């Protein structure tokens, strides 16, 4: 059954004449006759009485309501896909790690909203692994996360590297390690740590490094917000390994200290790679393509200083 056959049947039912229906469908009368014959052959019963005026048979009377519904649904679907192709989508959903939401996204989101005023932008702060999973499940359109090749190797995934940054140590200003400018792995492994919850790329990255060192990670607390990290570390002996961009606020707090991890040939720098991830089909949709492009442009020209004003809907996952 073809949509052209449904359209032809409805046109004949409306006009009562094959010739008029053919003109209405912009096809020849012989073509519309073949379409009706094929439709009747598929259904197994005649739909029309042929004569001076075409009239519905019993089967035609029963079929016409369904045919109209099918044709209406087709037109609705076609209109929605056309609007999607033209960029007339109701919303664009982005999942991003907390540090990107806090520091990098504000000017990007404002630029997008100025260009696509009719598209509601929804930004959700999530851990990297969970953000990639909701992207794969179709719940968001774009993820800006710490790379996890196990979750981004599908053929439909498009992965753009935005930047790499070092992992540093957050501690209280009066912590014993704070007197050093940099701290070796052999020193820091002895202190209890505050870590991100499961599903965050940072937890995986830190755990992998400890495993490589043959050391045990003493995870005293699991948290999922940077404010909580600063509050807990400020109180005592706990330390936290966090990416540089997550420590900008801590750098301005005289109750906290941020120190580099000493690197060597045997203990190379610990870096995290932040990527933009979407899918091939989504890049065909103008608002999503535009959003991805301005994110790439912003990070290509970034000096790592962004205003922090916010004018979008931010949902923090708990």
What are the tens digits of pLDDT across the range 222-265? 988 888 999 999 988 899 999 998 898 899 999 999 999 998 76
Lowest mean pLDDT among 147-151, 175-179, 278-282: 147-151
* Contact (CB, 8 A) for 142 and 288: yes
Determine contact, residues 162/274, Cβ cutoff 8 Å. Answer: yes
pLDDT in tens, 35-81: 999 999 999 999 999 888 999 999 999 999 999 999 999 999 988 88
Q: pLDDT category, 26, cuts 50, 70, 90?
A: very high
Show the 3-state SS of 167-214.
Answer: EEEEEECCCHHHHCCEECHHHHCCCCEEEECCCCHHHHHHHHHHHHHC
Q: What is the mean pLDDT of the chain?
A: 88
Asked whether the domain spanning 163-271 has the same topology as the one spanning 3-85, the reply is: no
Domain with residues 91-162+279-316, CATH architecture: 3-Layer(aba) Sandwich (3.40)
Q: Coil, strand, or helix at residue 221?
A: strand
CATH match for 163-271 among 3.10.20.340, 3.30.565.10, 1.10.260.40, 3.40.190.290:
3.40.190.290
List C-alpha distances in Å: 309 to 113, 257, 297: 14, 26, 20
Write down the domain spans for the chain: 3-85, 91-162+279-316, 163-271
pLDDT band at 313 (very low <50, low <70, confident <90, very high): very low
pLDDT at 158 over 80: yes
Is CATH 1.10.10.10 what the domain over 3-85 is classified as, yes or no? yes
Please report which confidence band the pLDDT of residue 174 belongs to, taking 50, 70 and 90 as the band edges.
very high
pTM: 0.72
The pLDDT value recorded for residue 265 is 62
End-to-end Cα separation, the chain, in angstroms: 49
Instruction: Note the pLDDT tens digit of each residue in 278-308.
Output: 999 999 999 999 999 999 999 887 654 333 3
Per-residue tokens: 28: 């020849």
Handedness of CA 295, 301, 306, 311 (dihedral sign): negative
Q: For residues 312 and 42, which has the higher predicted lDDT (pLDDT)? A: 42
Q: Cα-atom radius of gyration of the chain, to the nearest Å?
A: 30
């Amino acid at each position: 059954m073809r949509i052209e056959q449904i359209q032809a049947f409805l046109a004949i039912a409306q006009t009562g004449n094959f010739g008029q229906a053919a003109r209405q469908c912009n096809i020849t009368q012989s073509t519309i006759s073949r379409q009706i014959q094929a439709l009747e052959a598929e259904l197994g019963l005649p739909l029309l009485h042929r004569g001076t005026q075409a009239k519905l048979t019993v089967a035609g009377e029963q079929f016409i309501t369904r045919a109209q519904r099918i044709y209406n649904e087709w037109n609705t679907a076609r209109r929605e896909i056309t609007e999607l192709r033209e960029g007339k989508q109701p919303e664009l959903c982005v999942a991003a790690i907390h540090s990107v939401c806090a520091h990098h996204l504000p000017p990007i989101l404002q630029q997008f909203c100025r260009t696509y005023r009719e598209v509601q932008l929804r930004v959700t702060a999530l851990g990297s692994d969970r953000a990639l999973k909701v992207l794969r499940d179709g719940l968001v359109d774009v993820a800006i996360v710490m790379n996890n090749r196990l979750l981004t190797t599908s053929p439909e995934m498009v992965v753009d590297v935005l930047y790499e940054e070092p992992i540093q140590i957050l501690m209280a200003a009066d912590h014993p390690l704070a007197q050093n400018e940099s701290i070796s792995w052999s020193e820091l492994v002895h202190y209890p740590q505050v870590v991100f919850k499961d599903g965050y790329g940072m937890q995986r990255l830190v755990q992998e490094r400890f495993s490589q060192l043959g050391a045990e990670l003493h995870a005293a607390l699991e948290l999922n917000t940077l404010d909580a990290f600063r509050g807990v570390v400020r109180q005592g002996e706990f330390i936290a390994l966090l990416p540089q961009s997550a420590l900008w606020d801590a750098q301005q707090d005289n109750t906290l200290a941020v120190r580099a991890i000493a690197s060597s040939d045997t203990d190379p720098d610990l870096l995290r790679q932040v990527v933009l991830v979407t899918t091939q089909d989504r890049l065909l949709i103008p608002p999503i393509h535009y959003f991805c492009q301005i994110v790439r442009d912003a990070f290509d020209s970034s000096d790592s200083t962004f205003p922090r004003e916010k004018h979008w809907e931010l949902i923090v996952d708990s």
